[in-house]
Structure 1
Amino acid sequence: MITIHHQLCGQCGLCAGVCPVQALALHAWGLEVENKKCTGCGQCVTVCPTGALTSPSTSAGTKADRRPSPNALGEGVRERSKGGK
């Protein structure tokens, strides 16, 4: 189960982009998680630059090694990180 700490969320959308089951959605009013879809893989927690997402094994604001594996990132995210569109 993922918890969103909205006060920390910068609404960048990286978490929604890496979620393999589309359990996260970014809306105009903020981020939403469908915990019934969530598999607990932790990719969203890992990629969040502000520590706004936590799982039972992490705490809010934690900014440990948050580098996801290249396979965890979607093609669009990889292209943007290289300066593409």
Structure 2
Amino acid sequence: MVDISNITSFAKSVVECATAEALRTLIGAGTSNLAIGATSTTAKAGDYQPTVADISDATAFGRQLMQCADADAVKALLGI
């Protein structure tokens, strides 16, 4: 048998959790107040898909390139 008489009080609290919910509460998991939204202080939703305009460091040409629907459109944009 393993001697665990010298474990920390926190480790003892972890071991004594009767449910996963109790453990999440103990460690502060699942208690975030992070809000879903579209500002700099909120998180993006899981299904968020940025538009070309959302890519702030893209050049005008890069934006045009990203909007091409297929290889033929890319060739036309490049003039080939």
Give TM class, smaller chain: under 0.3
TM-score (norm 1): 0.23
Larger RCO of the pair (alpha carbons < 8 Å, separation 6+)? 1
Whichever structure has more strand as a proportion of its residues is: 1
Larger radius of gyration, structure 1 or 2? 2
